[in-house]
Structure 1
Amino acid sequence: MLIKVNKTLEVKTKLLNTTEQCAKRCSRNKGLSFTCKAFAYDRVTKRCHWLSFNSLTNGVRKKQDHAFDLFEKKDYVRNCIIGKGAEYKGTISITKSGIQCQAWNSMIPHEHSFLPSSYRGKDLRENYCRNPRGEEGGPWCFTTSPEMRHEVCDIPLCSEVECMTCNGESYRGPMDHTESGKECQRWDLQRPHKHKFRPERYPDKGFDDNYCRNPDGKLRPWCYTLDPNTPWEFCAIKTCDVGILNSTEAVAETTTCIQGQGEGYRGTVNTIWSGIQCQRWDSQFPHQHNITPESFKCKDLRENYCRNPDGSESPWCFTTDPNIRIGYCSQIPKCDESNEQDCYRGNGRNYMGNLSKTRFGLTCSTWDKNIEDLRR
């Protein structure tokens, strides 16, 4: 929760059933006498608190309170810009060459027509860098130097603030717009696009908020968009310099067995479980595909060896049989697995063990409980 020390800061409250209702009123400023910059939702009393301030406002302090969910409008707290920076509402107030910005409501030393009253909704407060007309070059300001009328500010593009390694499967940064500038849909919502990537089903995929992620082995991080006509798009995130690799992102490589789902398997098995030969990764015959060594450079797609470049359940390959597109290499043993543990052969059709938890630790429902639902 945000606590206001400055008593002049405004707060409005009302009983509402959901955080989504609270968010809609904040984004539209419906019925509010101020610009809503954040809101806190009390889960116990179901009361929404709309705030005219955020955590960066002077005279405000943060307080830990588990009854509240706090949401802040990103345009006011992010330290980078999307596209031309027309929506930037941060607090940087120095130009690229280091000159202090002139206040927007001042005519000294430069007269101008960019008054806060003329550009409502553009947040021309104080002397903060802004781009009220969405012009090329990004946010700017009139300067306090009589010799320089205006200059752009040195605010980095969000796409350049952080980098990704490999194809971005481990990217957990805050990019929340696509490469064409569309805002991402939250992963925990099914509007405007329905999808299978619910955060509760994939707890290890980093589905926070509406940030770009790569949960399914695409070329790079992506997201569903708020545009009803554009289901999803890739996000513009730069690739890290060679050698920059966080230890938490490194995949444990193995050659004789597989760990986890086998993303780090680098052995030379080149047949699927039934013995059918694998197709070379750099070949398009007999099966055409886009998982090539050029597109997935860090996946070691050499020869026709079994690999798991896309986060599948285990290493696999395209096969040389025209009638079988892909096959799993489930004959590769799992690392550190004794003979006493449950295991299966092939695709597990004959498995009769008593394991009753999923890979992520979720307890399975009994088969007879759900059999009628499955038949429907």
Structure 2
Amino acid sequence: MHIGLVLSQTPGYSETFFNSKIKGLREHGMDVRLYCQGKKDDFNLCPVILSPRVSRNPFFQSWYFLKEVVLLLPHLPAVIRYIKLERKEGTGVLQLFKKTYLNAHLLKAKLDWLHFGFATMALGSETVAKAIEAKMAVSFRGFDIAVYPVKQPDCYRMLWKYLDKGHTISNDLLVLAKKHGLPEDIPIEKITPAIDVNLFKSDSQIVNAKELVFMTTGRLHWKKGFVQTVEALAILKAQGLKFTYKIIGEGPEYERIAFGAYQLGLKNEILFLGKLPHHQVKKELESASIYIQYSIQEGFCNAVLEAQAMGKLCIVSNAEGLSENVLHGKTGWVVPKYKPQLLAETINRVLGLNSEERKTITEYAQKRVKEEFNIEKQQSEFIRFYKTKTPV
């Protein structure tokens, strides 16, 4: 079976779900190819086909265009089908030339499945799978369903028309997809993210309250809720609690978060550790008392799975998949978004648990992650995803 996975670029530092998926499919004899706009030098899991180059220089762009025209000649039947489908959808002549060029790398593909890693990646390429006589799949992962359609209403109208099968990482994201027009008759499978449970495991106990360490791993972005987390921690400091808050990750919101911490008097309590490899993330987790993921928007979050696997007490928001990731009162605690005061109260309550109560929570969380969110389970589910027949 030939699988084409479409991403903006080859999987990076935090996208372990794509890397494990590719490895699993290839280990089971499937031919996997990545179709991307850019490739990292260290990526070697499968062949990578780059999208046509785009240049502001008219001369170079004309040359690139003519080159793609020549390369598309052996694939003329697929190109003709694509043109007919696009004309049927009302695509104008100039726009058709542009779309044909931008999708040239896909129109040359011989695939059984063309799978867009995020719903937004399918925009502008909705008819390609049918043109190359492949099935089309799309994944709903978070921003693409929870945020983008709010800014661009009805953006997926054409996608729903040509989609053969969908993949969601949480039930809440599926609800949102249906809210944005996903038809009820399109088959959907939920396959959650997974982690290396053999790497993220620990027998260490929670550190003493006198050495409190809170921790969050994630890109420094507004949707991760760092500002609200810092506000909650400022409340705790005002109550006399002494702690250190470690943030692992980098991103565009560093200055905003750092300045917010400074204004709230937490300059000495917060440590920005930047981006770290997984073995160092694990090392930092060892010292954490409580893991906090108070996101505004979150598809699921591997970092929370890793923290639970390490036996850490986890407090998360109710953003999308987090309430499926952590079971409130059983494997951790779920706090409604935008309520720093409530988050502070929850942290205090968790700190007040006795050792037996902590042990009950962490052991159940570890058991659940090991059984339900391991890489082997995720890989077998993706194999079934492609092998299961879809309605004609």
> How high is the TM-score relative to the length of structure 2?
0.24
Structure with larger RCO (C-alpha < 8 A, sep 6+): 2
> How high is the TM-score relative to the length of structure 1?
0.24
The structure where helix makes up a greater share of residues is 2
